[in-house]
Amino acid sequence: MAIETRLGTLPSMRSLSTFLAVVGGSVFLALLSRFSVFVPYSLVPVTLQTFGLFILAATLGKSHAAGAVAVYLCQASIGLPVLAGGLANPLWYIAPSGGYLFAFLPAVYVAAALLERDKKRGFLWHLFSFCAAQCVIYLLGSPWLAYFVGWDRTITAGVLPFLYGAFLKITAAACLSKPIAIVKRFLP
């Protein structure tokens, strides 16, 4: 018995690398969500997920980074322990932090699209791109939180306490994204 394999039936290396990048990106976000601190007066935890979004935007590009976030949100929806602190909540989308998680998808797309627009720009362009993504997260996530706690508490408990951490994550990601891009050029 001979086993016959047609080249057309095998997945291409490009599809395999796309699959690995998207799934790897979602696992990267899940790992970074484990680093979380629950702020006593807020319903939203501080995590390293936005740092992960910025790194994904800088390394994977808009379609693969958005795909990684979509897979991450699907993992959360089926109850895998990928949310802040390793929590599993298949109803995450009706939780107070659900709006921020939904905002990850357009935020990573915005950051990656801005970075792809001009790849030769440096640190300040990365800072701007990541700040724009962070603004998308606040603009889309805050109304969802306001539904639960009201607008006055949303600003004091859902935005202001997170600005310093956001600044640190944006700066760290901007510092790391250029060296990561250099290393990425030498990978297959």
Question: If we measure between CA atoms, which residue out of 64, 62, 50, 55 comes closest to residue 175?
Answer: 55
Q: Has residue 187 got a pLDDT over 80?
A: no
- For residue 185, the SS3 value is helix
Q: 132-157 pLDDT, tens per residue? A: 999 999 999 999 999 999 998 999 88
* Residue 85, pLDDT score: 86
> 3-state DSSP helix/strand/coil percent for the chain, to nearest 5?
75, 5, 20
Report whether CATH 1.10.1760.20 matches the domain 19-185.
yes
pTM (global) more than 0.75: yes
- For 10-64, how does the pLDDT look when each residue is reduced to its tens digit (9 = 90+)? 567 678 888 999 999 999 999 999 998 887 777 788 899 999 999 999 999 999 9
* pLDDT reported for residue 1: 54
